Structure 1
Amino acid sequence: METTLKALIATHSGDLPAIGAPGRSWLSYDGLRALGVEVAQALNGMGIDASDRVAIVLPNGPEMASAFVTVAQAATTAPLNPAYKEEEYAFYLEDLKAKALILQDGDDGPAFAAASKLGMNIIRLSVPEGAAAGHFMLTSDISADAADKAPLADDVALILHTSGTTSRPKIVPLLQSNVAASAQHVRESLKLTQADRCMNVMPLFHIHGLIAAVSASLASGASIWCAPGFDALKFFGWMKEAQPTWYTAVPTMHQAILSRAARNSDVIADTPLRFLRSSSASLPAQVMRALNETFNAPVVEAYGMTEAAHQMACNPLESGTQKPGAVGIPAGPRMGIAHEAENHLIEGTGEVVISGPNVTPGYESNPDANEKNFFEADGARWFRTGDQGAFDADGYLHLTGRLKEIINRGGEKISPLEVDGVLLDHPDVAQVVTFALPHPKLGEEVAAAVVLKDGASSTEQDIRSFAAEHIADFKVPRKVIIMDEIPKGATGKMQRIGLAEKLGLVAESGQ
C-alpha cells in the first residue's frame, strides 16, 4: 500500500482528468503532479519543508483541493475554516505554531489580520487567467535559506483540531501513512476506479471532504469535481455539468437535496449515480430509504472521525446490503467494543474502539488525553472513540449514543465549554451551561442556559449577538434560556446531558 500522498497519485495515467470545477477545464494527473513539484519548489525556496506547518485558509473549490494535496507533498498542512473570526484564527495559528499562512490573493480578512498581528509569514495563492481547475501559483515576501526535506511516511501530512471535553481543542496530527491508508480504505470500500467521478460539496477544511472525496478519488485515478461549497438550489445544475458517479455528504445536505429532487427528476434520470455516501453524523433510516428510492442507487452510510483520518466503518456497496440505522462493518481498521472504564475488550454494548494504520499516533502535547484515549490490549493499540455501540449478529455496528458531551451539529463538533467561555465574557452573564438541543435535521443544535448578574437586563438576542461577534456562526447558540437558577445534579454540578429534557425543550425542538 502507498504510504504518502505523493505516492497515491504517482502512477495514474497522465492524461486522465483529476480535478474539475464549474465552468473550468480539467486539471490532468500530469498537471497535478507538475503542480506538486512547483509547490514544493516554491515552499522550499521560502525555507519551508516537511518539518514545517503551513495553515491554509481558502474558499471551498478546486484550489483548496489541490492546495491540500500539493502542499502536503512538501510540508505539514493545517486547513482552517474560512468562517472563523479573527480571535479564533489567532488561537489556532498560535496553537499550531504555523510557520506560514496561505491566503487567496487579495484576501485581507480576519485570517490575514490575525496572522499579521502574530508576525506570521503570508503566502499568496493566485490563479492565472484561464487556468485549469485547481492550478495556482504561490508567491510571498519570505526570505529564508532554501529547505529540501521531503515528507516520508512517518511525517505529519495534516493537522486538525478536534473538540474535546475541555474548552481547549485537541491537536490531531495525521501522518502521511494515516492519510494514505484511510484514502485507500475508502477506495476499497467504495470500489472506486478511474471511471468514477465524485462531485464534492463537503467543506475542504474538514476530514470528510479531504479524505473521502478528494484523497480517495485521487488514490483511485478517478476525478473530483469541486463545487464552491454546498447549495441545494444549485446542486442539480452542478450535477448536470459534472456528470458524477457519486457524491458524499452529511445527512443535513442529503435532506436538503431530497427536498428539491422531485423538480429535478430529469437530471437524476440523465445522470445515474453508482451510489451515494453519507458520513459525519447519523443518517436517519427514513432519509436513507428516501435517497435510495429517489436516486435508484445504493446509499452507503459510513462512520468516521478525525482521529481515524476519517473512515472506520462503512455499509457494504452491494445492492441490498446496506442496513438503515447501522454505520456498517469495519472498513480498514480493526474495530472492537471496550469496557467504558477499564482497558479491555468486551462483548455486547460498550465504547467503540479502533486500531489500524489510519489512526493518529496520538494527540499533540496532551499526555493526559493520550493516556485516557489509548490503551494496549489483544496485541494492538486501541483508540477510544467516545461513542457507545454494539455489533449485531451480522457484524454491523450500531451506535447507541456518545459518551462525551460534545454537540454534533450536522457533523460539526462543538465543545460546550468553549461556548461557555465565550458567553461568560458577556458583562451581564453570571452562569452559563451550553448543551445539546435535539434537532430534526441537524441531529443536535447548540443551546445555552444563562443566569444573569443581579440587576442585568440583557435579552436572549443580546447574548446571541455577543456570541456571534466572537465565534463562528455554527457555534452560536440558537436558543438561549435566561433563568433564575440552572438545575443541578445530585453532586451539585450543572449537568449538560439531559438538560434539554429537564427544561422541557425536546418536544418544542422537534416541531
Structure 2
Amino acid sequence: MELLPIYTPPAFDPKALLKPLAASLAGEGPAVAPHAALGQQFTGELPNDEIAAVLSTSGSTGAPKKTMLSVDALAASSMATAIALGAEGQWLLTLPVHHVAGFQVLVRSLYAGTEPWAMDPATAFTADAFTSAAGELTDRVRFTSLVPTQLHRLLQDPAPQTLEALKRFNAILLGGAPIGSGLRSEARRHGLNIVETYGMSETSGGCVYDGQPLDGVEVREDAGRLWISGPVLAEGYLGDPELTGERFVFNSGRRWFRTDDAGALTADGTVEVHGRLDDVIVTGGLKVSAAVVAEVIEGITGVNQALVLGITSSEWGTSVAAAVVGTVEAEVVRRHVAEELGAHAAPKTVLTLEAMPLLPGGKPDRQSVRALLEQRNS
C-alpha cells in the first residue's frame, strides 16, 4: 500500500496547500489529500503517477468516497472554466479546501498565476467577514464560488458595502445544492453575475455552467439519468475498484460517469438537472418529486430554504416530509403545496428550523435532517 501525504496543518491555512499542490500539478511532488479530519490517513494503491489529488465526496447521502483526480483532469477543468468565464483572475476562497469546490479555487489560482485570498472556514460565515475578505482582493478580474446558503445569508438585508463587494465580482459560481427560484430572482434583482454550476468530485467540480457543458464535456440522458463524459473525469475511487467499475464505464469508445442525478437535455442541448434520482418519493402509490416540492415551498413568503425527503410511514409506506427554514405555519406549507401540486404531494410532516444542518462543504446534511424528521414523525 502506498501512503498518501495528507494536508494536516497545525492551524487552518488553506494557502499552505498551494506549494505541495503546485508541485503535484507539475509532476514534481506526490498527490495531495486534504481532509477535514486532521491526522486521518488515506491509504491505497494509486493506479498511476498522474494522480494529483484525492478528495472525499461530500457524503451527503452516505459514506464519503475517496475520488482520485489526475493532473490532466484538473488542468482540463481549469482551462475550460477560464474559457467559460472569459478570463482568468483572482479568486476568493470561501469553502473548505477538502471539498472540490474549494479545492478548485486553489487549482485555478495556480494555473492563472494569481494569489487567492482565503476566508477561514473555521469561523462562522457572515456577511461582514465576506465583505472584509472581498476587500483584500487586488486584481481587476475577480471570481468566487459560493453555495446557495452562503449567498442567501449575504442577501438577507444586505449592507451597501456587501452588495458593492458582490457586484465587484466578474462572476460568482453558485453550486452544491439547488438554488431555488426565490434566491435566483433576488440575485438578479441586485444585478449580480451568478453562474449556476453543476458537477461533483468525480467531474473535478462544476462541469456544466448555466446549463451548458464546459469545453470538452459531454452530457447525455438515459432513462432519466444523467451521464457525463470528458477530460475532467476522475480516475476512480481510491481502494475501491469494484465501485470504480460500476460508476465509470466505457461506451462507444468514451469513458462515462454514471451520476445519481435525474435530468434531461433540451432541444438546444441545455442540461436540466431535476434533482437526485432517489429524490422521487413514492407515497401511497403515487410519485412525488422532492425537488419540485422544495421549490414550491421556497416560493412561500417567509420561507428561506426547504429540504424535502421521504420518511418511513406505517400508513403510506413513505410519506413526504419537509424541513423549512423561515417563519411560516405548517398548515400554510401543506395548503400551498396541495394547491400547486396536488394533495398527495403535500408534506405530512413539516419541521421548522432556525438553520439548515450543513455538511462542511455547505450542502444540506440530509442524514441529520432525515433523523430530525423521523423523530418528529414518531
Q: Given the two structures, how large is their TM-score scaled by the length of structure 2?
A: 0.68
Give the residue type in structure 2 aligned to 1:179.
Answer: L
Give the residue type in structure 2 aligned to 1:487.
Answer: S
1:201 equivalent among 77, 91, 94: 94
**1:66 equivalent in alignment to 2:18:** yes
Q: Secondary structure at the match of 2:186?
A: helix
Q: Indicate the structure (1 or 2) with the bigger Cα radius of gyration.
A: 1
Shift of 1:387: 0.5
Task: State the match for 2:126 in structure 1.
Answer: 231
Trace 1:206-225 onto structure 2 (pairs within 5 A).
206-211=99-104, 213-225=105-117
Task: State the match for 1:53 in structure 2.
Answer: 4
Task: State the match for 2:213 in structure 1.
Answer: 330
Preserved CA contact (<8 Å) 2:50 2:71: yes
Preserved CA contact (<8 Å) 2:14 2:97: no
Task: State the match for 1:272 in structure 2.
Answer: 168
Residue deviations 1:84-128 (CA, integer Å, cap 9, x gap): 4xxxx68x52xx2289xxxxxxxxxxxxxxxxxxxxxxxxxxxxx
Cα distance between partner residues in 2 of 1:209 and 1:261: 24
Q: Secondary structure at the match of 2:154?
A: helix
Preserved CA contact (<8 Å) 1:274 1:298: yes
Give the residue type in structure 2 aligned to 1:273.
Answer: F
Q: Secondary structure at the match of 1:233?
A: helix
**1:360 equivalent in alignment to 2:234:** yes
Preserved CA contact (<8 Å) 1:187 1:219: no
Task: State the match for 1:187 in structure 2.
Answer: 82
Preserved CA contact (<8 Å) 2:221 2:227: yes
Mark the CA change 1:266 to 1:384 in structure 2 (over 3 Å): closer, same or farther.
closer
Q: Secondary structure at the match of 1:157?
A: strand
Any unmatched runs of 5+ in structure 1? 1-50, 100-150, 316-327, 341-349, 407-434, 450-485
Residue deviations 1:438-497 (CA, integer Å, cap 9, x gap): 68656538x998xxxxxxxxxxxxxxxxxxxxxxxxxxxxxxxxxxxx53699xxx86x8
Task: State the match for 1:377 in structure 2.
Answer: 251
Cα distance between partner residues in 2 of 1:267 and 1:165: 33
Task: State the match for 1:444 in structure 2.
Answer: 307
Mark the CA change 1:248 to 1:168 in structure 2 (over 3 Å): closer, same or farther.
closer
Cα distance between partner residues in 2 of 1:225 and 1:263: 22
Task: State the match for 2:186 in structure 1.
Answer: 290
Give the residue type in structure 1 aligned to 2:35.
Answer: L
Mark the CA change 1:268 to 1:80 in structure 2 (over 3 Å): closer, same or farther.
closer
**1:246 equivalent in alignment to 2:129:** no
Shift of 1:503: 7.1
Cα distance between partner residues in 1 of 2:64 and 2:133: 35
Mark the CA change 1:152 to 1:198 in structure 2 (over 3 Å): closer, same or farther.
farther
Preserved CA contact (<8 Å) 1:185 1:331: yes
Residue deviations 1:6-30 (CA, integer Å, cap 9, x gap): xxxxxxxxxxxxxxxxxxxxxxxxx
Cα distance between partner residues in 1 of 2:278 and 2:245: 16
Task: State the match for 2:194 in structure 1.
Answer: 299
1:262 equivalent among 142, 147, 159: 159
Mark the CA change 1:281 to 1:351 in structure 2 (over 3 Å): closer, same or farther.
same
The number of residue pairs the alignment matches comes to 306
Preserved CA contact (<8 Å) 1:192 1:220: no
Preserved CA contact (<8 Å) 2:66 2:237: yes
Preserved CA contact (<8 Å) 1:185 1:311: no
Q: Secondary structure at the match of 1:246?
A: strand
Cα distance between partner residues in 2 of 1:164 and 1:261: 32
Q: Secondary structure at the match of 2:117?
A: strand
Preserved CA contact (<8 Å) 1:389 1:398: yes
- Root-mean-square deviation (CA, aligned residues, Å) is 3.9
Give the residue type in structure 1 aligned to 2:95.
Answer: M
Cα distance between partner residues in 2 of 1:207 and 1:364: 16
Any unmatched runs of 5+ in structure 2? 281-289, 323-344, 356-378
Residue deviations 1:215-244 (CA, integer Å, cap 9, x gap): 113212333111223332221122223246
Cα distance between partner residues in 2 of 1:188 and 1:386: 27
Task: State the match for 1:75 in structure 2.
Answer: 30
Trace 1:131-142 onto structure 2 (pairs within 5 A).
none
Give the residue type in structure 2 aligned to 1:444.
Answer: L
Task: State the match for 1:174 in structure 2.
Answer: 69
Shift of 1:184: 1.6
Preserved CA contact (<8 Å) 1:61 1:227: no
Cα distance between partner residues in 2 of 1:300 and 1:362: 28
Cα distance between partner residues in 2 of 1:507 and 1:52: 45
